[in-house]
Amino acid sequence: MNQFKSYCSTASKRQYIRIRTRFVKYCPVCLLLLLPIYACTADRSRKGPKLTGLSGKELAEIHCAGCHLFPAPDLLDKSAWENGILPEMAYRLGMRDPLEKLAVLAPDEIITVLRAASYPDGPVLASEDWQKIIRFYVGNAPEKPLPQELKSPVGAGLPFFEVRPLAEKMDVLPMVSLVKIDETDGCIYAGRREKRMLEVYDRSLKKIESLPVSSPLSDMALSKGQGLMALQMGTMEPNDLRNGQLIAIDEQKQKTVLLDS
Ligand code: HEC
């Protein structure tokens, strides 16, 4: 049996050497044959999508309405289309290198954006078709923004409520990201983004507690077992970071992370 095995392996080894010698001998020929095929495919990917012969409007109706409603050119002025929107949407249509967008992100944001496939791998339209879309928007947009319909005036106050100022002096503009009212004792909880605090006010609007938090709050709950639980956003500005947390704050103001994104 052993003998058979060793014979078998020597035989296959011999055959392998024969094939390898032949391959090495004919390799240059193979490469020469493969080269035009490679050149052809490489050329095709360089050329990108074919020119369609459609008008700028038709192209915009297909491509711009692919992700959201079709935006009419008169919604914005020429400069907003040319310098603001279209250069930005060019990334979404593969007409600009998305690396420019990714370069400014944090490493874990880059992974999230790549996983979400937010930007196509290559151009979605031929370069001349893209120019037609630009001409359609810039050519049909007004020089100055069109006047808007008058909206009803903004009024202050709420029916059934009266406005009362807080006793506390505000030296910076308050940025409140959360308000909760505990109806049992009338306490008001306010998440103060600019101070990184969760503040508690009593019925008479006197501040009775300040609890430090590490990022802006979006929600909170009072539970018998866990005490106070709050959701920290991490970073409030638009982002793809995973740095939000669910925390519990006990009577001694000690924080425990219950969930970490
Ligand atoms: C692959 C999807 C996609 C395509 C294609 C696309 N958009 Fe957008 N568009 C978005 C997304 C997502 C947003 C919101 C986020 C942003 O601004 O990037 C947006 C936002 C906009 C806005 C609002 C911008 C603002 O600042 O509020 C306008 C206007 C717009 N797109 C016009 C266009 C036009 C015109 C085209 C075609 C040339 C187009 N979009 C193609 C995805 C797309």
Residue 231, classified by CB atoms within 10 Å of its CB into exposed (0-12), middle (13-18) or buried (19+), is buried
pLDDT at 63: 97
Residue from 85, 93, 132, 237 to probe ligand 1 pocket by mutation (most atoms less than 8 Å from CB): 85
Which residue is associated with the tokens 């080894």?
A: 13
Phi, psi of 259 (to 5 degrees): -140, 135
Domain final residue pick, 93, 112, 140: 140
Contact 86, 131 (CB under 8 A): no
pTM exceeds 0.75, yes or no = no
Percent of the chain with pLDDT over 70: 82
What are the strands, taking DSSP E only, across the chain? 176-182, 187-192, 197-201, 207-212, 217-223, 227-232, 245-249, 255-260
Could you tell me if residue 106 is inside a domain? Answer: yes
pLDDT at 20: 44
Domain final residue pick, 140, 157, 192: 140
Query: Is the Cβ atom of 138 under 6 angstroms away from ligand 1?
Result: no
Low-confidence ranges of the chain (pLDDT < 50): 1-45
Please count the structural domains in the chain. 2
| CA–CA gap between residue 133 and residue 69 (Å, rounded) | 16
Residue 253, sorted as left (phi over 0), alpha (psi -120 to 50) or beta, turns out to be left
Query: Is the Cβ atom of 88 under 6 angstroms away from ligand 1?
Result: yes
CA of 241 to the centre of ligand 1 (A): 21
Could you tell me if residue 5 is inside a domain? Answer: no
Could you tell me if residue 250 is inside a domain? Answer: yes
Atom of ligand 1 nearest to the CA of 118: 1
Q: Closest Cα to atom 30, ligand 1: which residue?
A: 85
Could you tell me if residue 7 is inside a domain? Answer: no
pLDDT at 47: 65
pLDDT at 29: 41
The predicted-structure confidence for 197-254, as pLDDT tens digits, reads as follows: 999 999 999 999 999 999 999 999 998 777 899 999 999 999 999 999 999 998 888 9
Boundaries of domain holding 92: 56-140
Same domain? For 187 and 253 the reply is: yes
Same domain? For 256 and 180 the reply is: yes
Same domain? For 61 and 136 the reply is: yes
Q: Closest Cα to atom 12, ligand 1: which residue?
A: 67
The rounded mean pLDDT for the chain is 84
Could you tell me if residue 247 is inside a domain? Answer: yes
